[in-house]
């Protein structure tokens, strides 16, 4: 069976979310509720795509010692599990939701040191991807993984003419954007990540436009810059627009950016134009805010939210 979308998560995590009424640092805090979910950016993307009705394959690296939450999620949502297992545990990330402020404090572990043998096994599995399919590269690199691994992966898979969507940061993103691999189809940095890459502050919209144009000039067809509560800027080589989300009550901000990536993938599969893509991807992110875990509300709710997204074209 052909899997048109494959997500790759090299450094997944068990996301343990704790809710407190009011977080006080350096004091005892009483936890009101707690839950654990299979996490990792690519896994979150796959989960949201599955909720949307897209058959998706999830790949990457998972520990042999604590796979239960992941295998349960894959079975529940009919996600094909193509992960390479390594000896040891998948890391745990702790997210503390402060209900009084609405903010979230993240305590993220680095993950286990990964040897080259597992990376080679992963590359071998991904070499079986169908020509022309969509590949999503999401998240950080685990310890022991070369900073240019994503770039190397893209170079090795270049003959397959994959549509590659990238959501990473730091040296991994810099390697992709400055390396010799073909340009990805789409990238989704937040404003800070874009500032880090270009090496300057982007305080004005005109500054962001210039930085995005530098990337589209490198051959990247779509650049999406997330601005948090202010929405996102969407750039192609032909136009640019600002998408602003509707106001809702948020249950959890964890994974909203990953839900947006899933919306971008869904829009790309349907060949939507830039404005339609912006509305759908923003609706995915907003819909995720209403739920805990890597989940989307119903299609009806997403489509309703998409109609409430406001877009305005900006000079490009």
CATH code, domain with 153:
3.40.1190.20
Query: Cβ of 221: how many Cβ atoms within 10 Å?
Result: 16
Instruction: Tell me if residue 49 falls in helix, strand or coil.
Output: helix
Decide if 258 is catalytic.
Answer: yes
User: In this predicted structure, what is the pLDDT of residue 228?
Assistant: 83
Question: What does pLDDT average to over the chain?
Answer: 92
Residue 291's alpha-carbon distances to 74, 98, 222, 295, in angstroms, are: 19, 16, 28, 7
Largest CA distance in the chain: 56
- Residue 196 maps to a domain: yes
- Residue 102 maps to a domain: no
- Residue 29 maps to a domain: no
User: In this predicted structure, what is the pLDDT of residue 253?
Assistant: 64
- Residue 209's domain comprises 5-12+40-89+112-313
- Residue 279 maps to a domain: yes
Q: What is the pLDDT of residues 187-215, one digit of tens each?
A: 999 999 999 988 899 989 899 999 999 89
User: In this predicted structure, what is the pLDDT of residue 210?
Assistant: 92
- Residue 189 maps to a domain: yes
- Residue 98 maps to a domain: no
Q: What are phi and psi of 155, to 5 degrees?
A: -65, -45
> Domain tally for the chain?
1
Q: What is the pLDDT of residues 47-74, one digit of tens each?
A: 999 999 999 999 999 999 999 999 999 9
CB 95 within 8 A of CB 104: yes
- Residue 107 maps to a domain: no
- Residue 290 maps to a domain: yes
Q: Which residues of the chain have pLDDT under 50?
A: 1
Q: Rg of the chain's alpha carbons, rounded to an integer?
A: 19
Instruction: Tell me if residue 77 falls in helix, strand or coil.
Output: helix
Q: What are phi and psi of 163, to 5 degrees?
A: -90, 105
**Dist. CA 17–CA 292, nearest whole Å:** 9
> For the whole prediction, is pTM greater than 0.85?
yes
**In 28-127, which ranges are continuous DSSP H helix?**
41-52, 68-77, 116-126
**Dist. CA 271–CA 154, nearest whole Å:** 23
**Dist. CA 219–CA 235, nearest whole Å:** 12
Instruction: Tell me if residue 39 falls in helix, strand or coil.
Output: strand
* Catalytic residue, candidates 15, 51, 167, 258: 258
CB 19 within 8 A of CB 33: yes
């Amino acid at each position: 069976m052909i899997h048109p979308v494959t997500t790759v998560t090299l450094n997944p995590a068990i996301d343990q979310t704790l809710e407190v009424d009011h977080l006080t640092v350096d004091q005892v805090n009483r936890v009101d509720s707690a839950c654990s979910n299979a996490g990792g950016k690519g896994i979150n993307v796959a989960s949201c795509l599955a909720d949307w009705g897209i058959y998706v394959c999830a790949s990457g690296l998972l520990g042999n010692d604590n796979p239960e939450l992941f295998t349960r999620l894959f079975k529940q949502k009919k996600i094909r599990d193509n992960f390479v297992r390594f000896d040891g545990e998948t890391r745990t990330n702790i997210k503390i939701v402060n209900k009084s402020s609405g903010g979230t404090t993240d305590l993220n572990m680095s993950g286990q040191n990964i040897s080259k043998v597992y990376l080679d096994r992963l590359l071998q599995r991904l070499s079986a991807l169908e020509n022309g399919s969509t590949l999503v590269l999401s998240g950080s690199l685990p310890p022991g993984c070369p900073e240019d691994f994503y770039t190397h992966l893209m170079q090795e898979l270049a003959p397959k003419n994959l549509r590659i969507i990238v959501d990473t940061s730091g040296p991994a993103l810099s390697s992709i954007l400055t390396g010799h691999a073909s340009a990805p189809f789409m990238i989704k940095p937040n404003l800070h990540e874009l500032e880090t890459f270009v090496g300057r502050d982007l305080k004005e919209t005109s500054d962001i436009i210039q930085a995005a144009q530098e990337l589209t000039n490198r051959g990247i067809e779509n650049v999406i810059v997330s601005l948090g509560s202010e929405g996102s800027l969407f750039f192609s080589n032909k136009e640019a627009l600002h998408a602003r989300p509707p106001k809702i009550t948020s249950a959890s901000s964890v994974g909203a950016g990953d839900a947006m990536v899933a919306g971008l993938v869904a829009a790309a599969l349907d060949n939507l134009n830039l404005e339609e893509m912006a509305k759908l991807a923003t609706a995915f992110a907003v819909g995720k805010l209403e739920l805990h875990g890597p989940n989307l509300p119903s299609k009806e709710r997403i489509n309703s939210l998409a109609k409430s997204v406001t877009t305005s074209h900006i000079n490009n």
